Structure 1
Amino acid sequence: MEKSSNKQSMDEVQQIFDKFDKNGDGKISCKELKNVLRALGSETSTEEVKRIMAEIDKNGDGYIDPREFALFYCGGGSNGDDQSDANDLRDAFDLYDADKNGLISASELHSVLKGLGEKCSLSDCRRMIKSVDVDGDGNVNFDEFKKMMKR
């Protein structure tokens, strides 16, 4: 069972990587990274994009390859610094929490996924939220988000 779960998560990582890799060349450039961050609603400066790139681009070739992306996505992107991990999680949560009320609603999730070109309905987003909504309020709070990201 563990093996199929790992395979599924690697497929998920590849799908997310492909969303970033708009030209399909097998690597993510600074420009592609900045465009995805913009689609998520984050007006990230060029300097900040370069800093993010430097953190993920372990071999220093100026691109994020699938292996580097998988390491970052699966929690290996911050050199094991717990504070940096917490900050990265908070930044990711804040990208989804458009109204800054500390909760991710189905409509906020839908808006972000639509911005990334995902084909999913609002009811699909409600189902995604329900699958991680421990307290049953119809939203994802930061604690629920952290648990979901550690799966």
Structure 2
Amino acid sequence: MGKHKERPPLNIASEPIDITMEHEPQYNKEQMRMLKEIFDQFDVDKTGKCPLKIIPTTLSTLGVKMKEEDMEKLIKDVDANGSGNIDFDEYIELAKRYIEPEDDYNKLYSELRQVFMIFDKENKGYLDIAEFKAIIKEIEPELPDKELDEVVEEVDADGSGRIEFEEFLAVMAGGE
């Protein structure tokens, strides 16, 4: 398990409480692990931040369609600190808008299957390394080839030269 920067616990008492707000969704451990794994796939340089351009890709894989001007507004809303990047906390805030908390792991499995199928256009059951690299390069065009190869090596656990759904699932759902 990699080292992550320790964040201080949220001190709820120090923040004003709006009693008119509805209860915010709370993700279970599996969902949080899945969201973290997805975020980490886009955080290729491991800074704890991803470029804002991942937002359209993320939403598209979730089946969310949005006008360009609405997307621009959403990106400004999500980038609460104005950094030009999205950190994990901002990513979770984005997820709350589109992903309902779900206790059923089968639902997560089904959603990840749908995401995989979006990329597996020929319905082969796997992604060629070239297809996978093209997806990563589209998301992170500045990524050096050496780091891209390291990402591929990590995801292609069996070294087959293909990203099978099971490997994709293991990475995205946090399995081993």
Aligned partner of 1:133 in structure 2 is 156
Question: AA paired with 1:84?
Answer: K
Matched, 1:146 2:169: yes
Aligned partner of 1:7 in structure 2 is 5
Check 1:145–1:71 CA distance in 2 against 1; reply closer, same or farther (3 A cut): farther
Check 1:42–1:70 CA distance in 2 against 1; reply closer, same or farther (3 A cut): closer
Question: AA paired with 2:4?
Answer: N
Question: AA paired with 1:18?
Answer: L
Q: How far has the Cα of 1:109 moved from its partner? A: 1.6
CA distance in structure 2 between the partners assigned to 1:71 and 1:83 by the alignment: 23
Question: AA paired with 2:101?
Answer: N
Check 1:72–1:90 CA distance in 2 against 1; reply closer, same or farther (3 A cut): farther
Instruction: Compare the two structures and name the one with the higher helix fraction.
Output: 1
CA distance in structure 1 between the partners assigned to 2:64 and 2:113 by the alignment: 16
Aligned partner of 1:89 in structure 2 is 112
Question: AA paired with 2:91?
Answer: F
Question: AA paired with 1:7?
Answer: K
Say how many residue pairs are matched: 121
Q: How far has the Cα of 1:142 moved from its partner? A: 0.9
Structure 1 unaligned regions, length at least 5:
21-32, 58-62
Alignment RMSD: 4.3
CA distance in structure 1 between the partners assigned to 2:63 and 2:173 by the alignment: 26
Question: AA paired with 1:15?
Answer: K
Instruction: Compare the two structures and name the one with the higher strand fraction.
Output: 2
What percent of counterpart residues are identical?
A: 19
Q: How far has the Cα of 1:121 moved from its partner? A: 5.5
* Residues 30-64 of structure 1, C-alpha deviations (whole Å, 9 max, x = no match): xxx44x369x79986449xx9xx9xxx9xxxxx55
Please report the TM-score for the alignment, with normalisation by the length of structure 2. 0.47
Q: How far has the Cα of 1:98 moved from its partner? A: 4.0
Q: Is the CA contact (8 Å cut-off) linking 1:96 and 1:104 kept in structure 2?
A: yes
